[in-house]
Amino acid sequence: MTQTLTIRQPDDWHIHLRDNAIMQTAVPATAAVFARAIAMPNLQPPVVSAQEAISYYQRIKSCVPAGNSFEPLMTLYLTDHTTPEMIVEAKQAGVVKACKLYPANATTNSAHGVTDLGLLKETFATMEEQGILLLVHGEVTESHIDVFDREKEFIDRHMTKIVADNPNLKVVFEHITTADAAEFVASTSANVGATITPQHLMYNRNDLLVGGVKPHNYCLPVLKRNTHQQALREVVATGSDKFFLGTDSAPHLKHAKESSCGCAGCYSAPAALELYAHIFDDIGCLDKLEGFASLHGPKFYGLPVNDKTVTLVRDPWQMPESVKVGSDDMVPFYAGQTLNWQVQR
């Protein structure tokens, strides 16, 4: 049985670093293991311009521990009013790698999201020309569509059209949760990839609902039935380079999660790589972890693989029940439970 595993230093291709006090906790947690991370732009107000992206980049860098070379990769938040000129400015800024498509009101802080994809036809064309990736939260938002069906409905109604109309645009289908999404990504062009979170590999909707609602397992897109979870586990076990690590780590204070209308998001940053190692070991494909965590993402983004390495050791430990943020607490994903791997620090 493998006792240690050394891989190229990984990157996180989808993370929420937030701002202010939470950012001061979230950034060091991510920088401790990951070399780079795609920072989501859904702040309040959102990051919609090159100048705002530069400002956010600087705030993130100010939270990186001394001597650590962690590099945030910035994104713009697409709205109905994002113009081709704004995309060109973002490219020239040098720090912006992608734009994030949130359908309006699909998830946390998405009220400013896109209401009509047709408004962005020229913007998508300019992103294609400039080499700016499109990152998609793939869910429809109509209230009459069952929350468990919204990802498939988005594929059928929008995702196929986005890819067909923009064949040279690199598109990341983010935090996929269904067999439908896995099949779509696997079967479409090389310009389409996907990120998969630890929670969607580890859990299904029983882990959210059985025995009482588990607010710290609540995320969007919501956990699906076990057949979809199994499909995601099977696709990462293939080693396909179309799928790569994106935690969607989304920190919220404990009281915001444990409320009458709790926030969506799982805070996995304190043990992100250990969670994936635990899962890949459980599936029986530890040999595929390096590709998923460290190689496929840079290849898709057209970036170099990291030079440094990280070593994981089989040494069971317990995830803390909480993480301090000033006088408040956050509850990490998998709190109080045992993980079989830990990063050698």
Instruction: Tell me what pLDDT residue 110 has.
Output: 75
Instruction: Tell me what pLDDT residue 327 has.
Output: 92
Instruction: Tell me what pLDDT residue 32 has.
Output: 98
Strand pairing report for 133-136 and 96-101:
parallel
Residue 175, annotated as binding a ligand: yes
Helix (H), strand (E), coil (C) string for 156-173: HHHHHHHHHHCCCCCEEE
Which run of H or of E encompasses 316? Answer: strand 309-318
Query: What does DSSP assign to residue 103?
Result: B
Residue 117, annotated as binding a ligand: no
Residue 42, annotated as binding a ligand: yes
Residue 324, annotated as binding a ligand: no
Encode the chain (345 residues) as per-residue pLDDT tens digits. Answer: 889 999 999 999 999 999 999 999 999 999 999 999 999 999 999 999 999 999 999 999 999 999 999 999 999 999 999 999 999 999 999 999 999 999 988 777 778 899 999 999 999 999 999 999 999 999 999 999 999 999 999 999 999 999 999 999 999 999 999 999 999 999 999 999 999 999 999 999 999 999 999 999 999 999 999 999 999 999 999 999 999 999 999 999 999 999 999 999 999 999 999 999 999 999 999 999 999 999 999 999 999 999 999 999 999 999 999 999 999 999 999 999 999 999 998
Instruction: Tell me what pLDDT residue 108 has.
Output: 76
Domains and CATH numbers, the chain: 10-308 (3.20.20.140)
Instruction: Tell me what pLDDT residue 111 has.
Output: 80
Residue 120, annotated as binding a ligand: no
Cα–Cα nearest to 22, from 260, 323, 302: 323
The CA distance from 84 to 315, in Å, is: 51
Instruction: Tell me what pLDDT residue 328 has.
Output: 96
Q: Which of 156, 248, 281, 328 is catalytic?
A: 248
Residue 296, annotated as binding a ligand: no
Instruction: Tell me what pLDDT residue 2 has.
Output: 82
Instruction: Tell me what pLDDT residue 119 has.
Output: 95
Instruction: Tell me what pLDDT residue 107 has.
Output: 79
Q: Is 165 a catalytic residue?
A: no
Residue 278, annotated as binding a ligand: no
